[in-house]
Amino acid sequence: MSGVLIAGGTVVTPFEEIAADVLIEGGIISRVEAAIEADGAELVDASGCIVAPGSIDLHIQGHSGRDFWEGTYEAANHISLAMPPAGVTAIVPTTDGDPETLGALAEAIQRGVDGAQFLGIHSEGPFVSPKRLGAIGEDKARAVDMGLLKRLLEAGAGHVCIMTIAPEIPGALQAISFLAESGVLPSLGHSCATYEEAAAGFDAGAGRITHLFNAMTSFAEREDGGLAAAALLGEDIFIETVCDCVHVHPVILRMAARAVGCARNAAVTDSVKVAGMPPGRYESAGHGYEIFVASDGQPPRLRDGTIAGSALSMDQALRNLVGKVGLSLAEVFQMAALAPAATLGIQRQKGCIRPGCDGDIVIYNPHLEVEATYIGGRAVFRRG
């Protein structure tokens, strides 16, 4: 027998916390039970540690000095290699609706990367509201054009799995229906939609929300709550939240977790190239503007103070969710692993520790610092 036996840890499945060993054979989890004996398997002692499913980041634009906007394999592979030390085993690279960048990411997926697996591409735009751009450049927003939409999907070579779109702009509902019929998940965001306009987007086929509470209308007591209210009240809607506790206050993060449930609430970083880098001034590839990081833990900003993505790594997001938001380990790993997998419809393959799932597993110390990361049963990172 060969394989990897991770023994002695507390396993977060993530439905529950159990004392169990985990055996990975052929890259797949084969057993999760107490006191496994597996002659010939590599023994990994996880005593005193947390054993959890690998995190999946559905919204990441860059990390450690590189970003996907560069449109090169080297940048994409560099970012994939920066993920395992933060406990991330799979990502959905995020860019705007630029055919060349989409094509470059599709090529990287087809070629394969050396770190975290690429599960598809998230196209954040271009059919978004010019009034809720955030850090998306004004020249990046487009009116809905079905011809352009089809060209973008062609450029992505079948790998675009999520597209952010504002449901209130003319032609959006037709585009949402087309995306859903094409196997692409329409995600509502960068939007001024009212509650009714958001509901119409859901009826047309949208199934998720891009960075809830950010780049959308805020709650006001005499208004209908818009896209945020529609998301919190939707029965089958997946959401994502940026968990740096700056984009969204910890109290509001806790409210979203309670309202939607952690199994439909994907923790994302929305990180850009400054993640993992010291404070300073950086050029944003593909945008033609500067971004500034004032201090550790703060998101980068444009010169006018607009938040431009984040400097967050996923392991810090987990620590935020436990220490600042007050969630349990099971809830946190539902957000970091199960909810992203379920968003993509691959929860029987990823996002859980149970027999039949991929051997994407992370070992954390009690402080939620990553000790080791396994992708398909292969050790891709070990601390020290």
Q: How many domains does the structure of the chain reveal?
A: 2
Q: Given the structure tokens 């070629």, which residue do they identify? A: 111
- Cα separation, 338 vs 346, whole angstroms: 9
Q: Are residues 140 and 220 in the same domain?
A: yes
pLDDT of residue 1: 55
Is residue 351 a contact partner of residue 342, using CB atoms and an 8 Å limit? Answer: yes
Phi-psi region of 276 (alpha: psi -120 to 50; beta: other; left: phi over 0): left
Task: Report the DSSP pairing between strands 28-33 and 21-25.
Answer: antiparallel
Q: Any idea what the CATH number is for the domain that residue 259 is in?
A: 3.20.20.140
pLDDT of residue 21: 97
**Sign of the CA dihedral with 256 first, then 262, 264, and 267 last:** positive
**pLDDT tens string 146-180:** 999 999 999 999 999 999 999 999 999 999 999 99
Q: Are residues 177 and 33 in the same domain?
A: no
- Cα separation, 90 vs 83, whole angstroms: 8
User: What is the number of other CB atoms lying within 10 angstroms of the CB of residue 384?
Assistant: 4
DSSP state of 302: -
Residue 349 lies in a domain: no
Is residue 321 a contact partner of residue 312, using CB atoms and an 8 Å limit? Answer: no
Q: Are residues 186 and 268 in the same domain?
A: yes
**pLDDT tens string 177-232:** 999 999 999 999 999 999 999 999 999 999 999 999 998 987 777 778 899 999 99
Q: Are residues 253 and 237 in the same domain?
A: yes
Residue 21 lies in a domain: yes
Tokens read off for 188:
């509502």
Q: Are residues 275 and 371 in the same domain?
A: no
**Mean predicted confidence (pLDDT) in 269-277:** 90
Tell me the average pLDDT of the chain: 92
Q: Are residues 44 and 107 in the same domain?
A: no
Instruction: For residue 9, give its domain range.
Output: 4-52+354-382
**Mean predicted confidence (pLDDT) in 277-281:** 83
Longest pairwise C-alpha distance within the chain? 66
339, pLDDT greater than 60? yes
- Cα separation, 310 vs 244, whole angstroms: 8
DSSP state of 192: -
**pLDDT tens string 239-272:** 999 999 999 999 999 999 999 999 999 999 999 9
**Mean predicted confidence (pLDDT) in 49-61:** 97
Q: Any idea what the CATH number is for the domain that residue 8 is in?
A: 2.30.40.10
**Mean predicted confidence (pLDDT) in 126-136:** 77
Q: Are residues 46 and 125 in the same domain?
A: no
Is residue 161 a contact partner of residue 122, using CB atoms and an 8 Å limit? Answer: yes
Q: Given the structure tokens 């998720």, which residue do they identify? A: 208
pLDDT of residue 195: 95
Q: Are residues 162 and 305 in the same domain?
A: yes
Q: Are residues 45 and 115 in the same domain?
A: no
- Cα separation, 352 vs 339, whole angstroms: 10
Strand partners, 241: 267
How many residues are there in the chain? 384
pLDDT of residue 312: 94
Burial of 240: CB neighbours in 10 Å, binned 0-12, 13-18, 19+: buried
Q: Are residues 112 and 35 in the same domain?
A: no
pLDDT of residue 180: 97
Share of the chain above pLDDT 70, in %: 96
